Structure 1
Amino acid sequence: MPAMSDSRVIPANDYRRERWKNGLGWTREIARSHPSEDWDWRLSIAEIEHSAAFSTFDGVDRELVLLQGQGVRLAFDDGEAALLTLPGERHRFAGERALRGELIDGPTHDFNLMWRRDRIGAELLVRPLVGSMLFFTAPGETWALHLMSGQAQFDRSTGLPPLWQGDTALLVGGQTRSRYMLDGGGQLLAMRLTPLAPAQEGLQ
Structure 2
Amino acid sequence: MPDPATVRIIPAATARSVRWRNGQGWTRELFCAPAPAAALSVDAAAAPWPWRISIARIDRDAPFSAFPGVDRELMLLRGGRLDLQVADRRIALASRYARHRFAGERDVAACVPAGGVEVFNLMWRRDLHRARLWHLPLAGALAWRADPATTWIVHLLAGHARCGSGAAQAALVAGDTAVLSDASASGRVSIEGEGALLAVCLRDRLDAGPDDACAPAGPDPRPGIRS
1:44 aligns with 2:54: yes
Deviation of 1:67 after TM superposition, in Å, equals 1.0
Distance 1:158 1:135 in 2: 15
CA RMSD of aligned residues (A): 2.3
Structure 1 equivalent of residue 157 of structure 2 = 148
Deviations 1:27-71 (A, max 9, x none): 011112217852111111111121111111000000001111112
Deviation of 1:81 after TM superposition, in Å, equals 2.0
Distance 1:142 1:199 in 2: 16
Distance 1:53 1:198 in 2: 34
Provide the secondary structure at the position in 1 that maps to 2:195.
Answer: strand
Distance 1:166 1:140 in 2: 26
- Normalised TM-score (structure 1): 0.87
Give unmatched runs, 5+ long, in structure 2.
Answer: 41-46, 210-227
Match of 2:133 among 124, 134, 137: 124
Match of 1:139 among 139, 144, 148: 148
1:17 aligns with 2:17: yes
1:169 aligns with 2:169: no
Deviation of 1:192 after TM superposition, in Å, equals 0.4
Structure 1 equivalent of residue 65 of structure 2 = 55
Q: Which has the higher contact order (CA 8 A, sep 6+)?
A: 1
The number of residue pairs the alignment matches comes to: 197
Give the 3 Å change call, closer, same or farther, for CA 179–24 of structure 1 in structure 2: same
Which amino acid counterpart does residue 73 of structure 2 have in structure 1?
A: E
Which amino acid counterpart does residue 97 of structure 1 have in structure 2?
A: R
- 8 A Cα contact 1:68 1:108, kept in partner: yes
Give unmatched runs, 5+ long, in structure 1.
Answer: none
Which deviates the most, 10-19 or 78-87? 78-87
Provide the secondary structure at the position in 1 that maps to 2:13.
Answer: helix
Which amino acid counterpart does residue 49 of structure 1 have in structure 2?
A: D
Structure 1 equivalent of residue 103 of structure 2 = 94
Deviation of 1:6 after TM superposition, in Å, equals 3.3
Which amino acid counterpart does residue 137 of structure 1 have in structure 2?
A: A
Deviation of 1:198 after TM superposition, in Å, equals 6.9
Give the 3 Å change call, closer, same or farther, for CA 23–121 of structure 1 in structure 2: same
1:72-111 equivalences under 5 Å are 72-76=82-86, 78-111=87-120
Distance 1:176 1:139 in 2: 9
- 8 A Cα contact 1:4 1:172, kept in partner: no
Which deviates the most, 105-114 or 4-13? 4-13
- 8 A Cα contact 2:57 2:116, kept in partner: yes
